[in-house]
């Protein structure tokens, strides 16, 4: 009876799981395996936690849920922590394995992990399942991924199609008794502290496939918010202005194809409109950045980006700290950064603004911002994060120089200052007319008990005509 390992990486789900499906077709005995890989923890180049406590907690919950769902099918999840290749080698000493089934990752650190696993002498059978369009179904070789998003999108929309979902197994084998199952590590084992539950958060975020599917059902069917996605997606406050599915996409608790086919079902059964299409449009952005990463490799982490564009950048510790803590004195920036720090999430509108501010107004090395996001975001995804940061820094493929006028943006998307007041209670009493630039209030409130809030780090001339 041949035995295979299904090595779960960033596809922590039972549904639409190609590796699981393939293994089950060939092997009588499969051993589901997950390792909290040591290289995903520790410090980034600029000294932030690589995986901060919000995301680590989410990951722990996702693995817990995967184990529970495998148990329901009669199996188990073998859990380890440390160096994946070494942990697998130890397992091979306990049980004879012929093949490892796994999703192929496309990023340098993850590739290094899989290369070590390949050296163990057991064949590795890879699947490719993190994108909407399969790499082999693109209208071009991935090495020729077009420079611009629009060309990429038009190409896949016209010439590619989204594959069907892989079937879910209804029963799995029991694991051999001699295998030690391993326990799920706690946050403390990663030297991280549990974040307190943030009462201001609009959404209680929990990891796992079950929660992902619950969120899909809520956003699509219970509330029918999907029908309003295009109109609301630039929102800042509340649980349902956007899908929030990124929270579960990054570690594969949900598959992008599952979302796609569910949109198609919704379009048939409930409504098809610009909003339903727009969610697919955004998922194509996600694919675009993945294929850009696949094409350009590690240059996405370089200062000059994939465009090899040279600009002046600085590293100013005080400015970095004020930006990161949400203490720049510019309420729209600070509110977004405080939401990120306290919840592990920030809206797309917020991300664009705080990134543009760091790059264009503070002139800081954009990779500091990208690494801070890497540390704090629950939905951190190498391609989407570095892809978007490069875009904003002007070192990506974008032909336009993206620029966000923070004051105008704040007034447009947070007209009455509700969002700012939600995250910066110090400003709760300020009038809406000055909420986005408190330094222009008639009375000088700074330093008084009414306004325990810093003066602005910068005040570009061009902001002034928008006060």
Ligand X SMILES: Cc1cc2nc3c(=O)[nH]c(=O)nc-3n(C[C@H](O)[C@H](O)[C@H](O)COP(=O)(O)OP(=O)(O)OC[C@H]3O[C@@H](n4cnc5c(N)ncnc54)[C@H](O)[C@@H]3O)c2cc1C
Q: Which two tokens stand for residue 148?
A: 């611009």
User: Quick one: tokens of 252?
Assistant: 């594969």
Q: Does 286 bind ligand X (CB under 6 A)?
A: yes
| In contact, 255 and 11? CB cutoff 8 Å | yes
62 near ligand X, judged by CB under 6 A: no
d(CA 232, CA 239): 11
Quick one: which segment of 111-119, 128-136, 146-154, 387-395 binds ligand X (CB under 6 A)? 387-395
Residue 358 DSSP class:
I
- Give the separation between CA 80 and CA 351, rounded to whole angstroms: 34
218 touching ligand X, by CB under 6 A? no
Q: How far is CA 47 from CA 157, 189, 370, 375, 377, in A?
A: 41, 19, 12, 10, 16
Binding residues for ligand X, rule CB under 6 A, total: 29
Among positions 29, 57, 99, 243, the unique one binding ligand X when judged by CB under 6 A:
243
> Which listed range, 64-72, 130-138, 298-306, 382-390, lies at the site for ligand X (CB under 6 A)?
382-390
Site mask for ligand X (CB under 6 A), range 355-374, x = bound: x-----------------x-
Indicate which single residue of 63, 254, 377, 430 sits in contact with ligand X (rule: CB under 6 A). Answer: 377
162/292 Cα distance (integer angstroms) = 19
Q: Least Å distance between CB 64 and ligand X? A: 22
Residues 159, 143: contact at Cβ < 8 Å?
no
Closest separation between CB of residue 211 and ligand X, Å? 14
- Whether residue 123 contacts residue 98, with contact meaning beta carbons closer than 8 Å, is answered with yes
Q: Indicate the residue among 138 and 377 with the shorter CB distance to ligand X.
A: 377
Q: Which one of the spans 283-291, 301-309, 409-417, 429-437 is the region binding ligand X (CB under 6 A)? A: 283-291
- Check binding of 75 to ligand X (CB under 6 A): no
Q: Quick one: 97 or 359, whose CB is closer to ligand X? A: 359
Q: Which is nearer to ligand X, 243 or 343 (CB)?
A: 243
225 touches ligand X by CB under 6 A:
no
Q: How many CB atoms lie within 10 A of CB 385?
A: 22
Count the Cβ atoms, other than its own, within 10 Å of residue 273. 14
Structure token digits, residue 235: 């929102």
Q: What is the DSSP letter of 49?
A: B
Q: Is 234 in the site for ligand X (CB under 6 A)?
A: no
Q: Does 353 bind ligand X (CB under 6 A)?
A: no
Options 289, 419, 453, 463; binder of ligand X; rule CB under 6 A: 289
The closest alpha carbon to 432, from 412, 445, 418, 416, belongs to 416
Residues within the interface to ligand X (CB under 6 A) = 233, 242-246, 249-250, 279, 282-283, 285-286, 289, 347-348, 351-352, 355, 373, 377, 379-381, 384-385, 388-389, 392
């Amino acid at each position: 009876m041949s035995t295979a390992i299904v090595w779960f990486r960033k596809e922590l789900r039972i549904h639409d799981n190609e590796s699981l499906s393939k293994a089950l077709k060939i092997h009588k005995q499969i051993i589901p395996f997950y390792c909290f890989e040591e290289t995903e923890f520790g410090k980034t180049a600029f000294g932030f936690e690589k995986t901060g406590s919000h995301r680590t907690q989410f990951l722990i919950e996702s693995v817990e849920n995967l184990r529970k769902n495998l148990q329901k099918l009669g199996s188990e999840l073998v859990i380890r922590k440390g160096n994946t290749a070494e942990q697998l080698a130890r397992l091979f000493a306990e049980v004879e394995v012929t093949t490892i089934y796994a999703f192929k990752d496309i990023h340098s650190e993850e590739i290094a992990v899989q290369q070590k696993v390949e050296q163990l002498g057991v064949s590795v059978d890879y699947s490719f399942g993190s994108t909407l369009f399969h790499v082999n179904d693109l209208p071009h070789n991935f090495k020729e991924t077009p420079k611009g998003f629009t060309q990429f999108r038009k190409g896949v929309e016209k010439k590619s199609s989204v594959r069907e979902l892989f079937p879910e197994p209804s029963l799995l084998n029991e694991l051999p008794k001699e295998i030690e199952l391993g326990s799920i590590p706690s946050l403390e084992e990663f030297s991280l502290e549990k974040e307190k539950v943030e009462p201001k958060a609009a959404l209680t975020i929990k990891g796992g496939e079950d929660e992902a599917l619950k969120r899909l059902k809520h956003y699509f069917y219970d509330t029918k918010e999907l029908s309003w996605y295009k109109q609301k997606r630039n929102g800042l406050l509340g649980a349902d202005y956007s899908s929030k599915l990124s929270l579960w996409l990054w570690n594969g608790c949900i598959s992008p194809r599952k979302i796609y086919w569910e949109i198609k079902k919704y379009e048939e059964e409930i409504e098809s409109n610009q909003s339903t299409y727009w969610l697919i449009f955004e998922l194509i952005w996600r694919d675009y950045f993945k294929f850009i990463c696949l094409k350009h490799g590690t240059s996405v982490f370089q200062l000059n980006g994939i465009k090899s564009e040279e600009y002046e950048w600085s590293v100013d510790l005080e400015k970095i700290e004020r930006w990161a803590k949400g203490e720049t004195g510019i309420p729209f920036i600070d509110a977004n950064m405080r939401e990120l720090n306290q919840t592990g999430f920030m809206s797309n509108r917020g991300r664009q603004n705080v990134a543009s501010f760091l790059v264009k107004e503070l002139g800081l090395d954009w990779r500091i911002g990208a690494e801070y996001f890497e540390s704090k975001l629950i939905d951190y995804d190498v391609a989407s994060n570095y892809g978007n940061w490069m875009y904003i820094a002007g070192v990506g493929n974008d032909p336009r120089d993206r620029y966000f006028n923070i004051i105008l943006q704040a007034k447009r998307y947070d007209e009455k200052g509700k969002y700012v007041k939600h995250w910066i209670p110090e400003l709760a009493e300020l009038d809406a007319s000055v909420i986005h630039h408190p330094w222009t209030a008639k009375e000088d409130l700074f330093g008084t008990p009414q306004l325990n809030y810093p003066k602005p780090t910068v005040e570009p001339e061009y902001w002034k005509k928008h006060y």
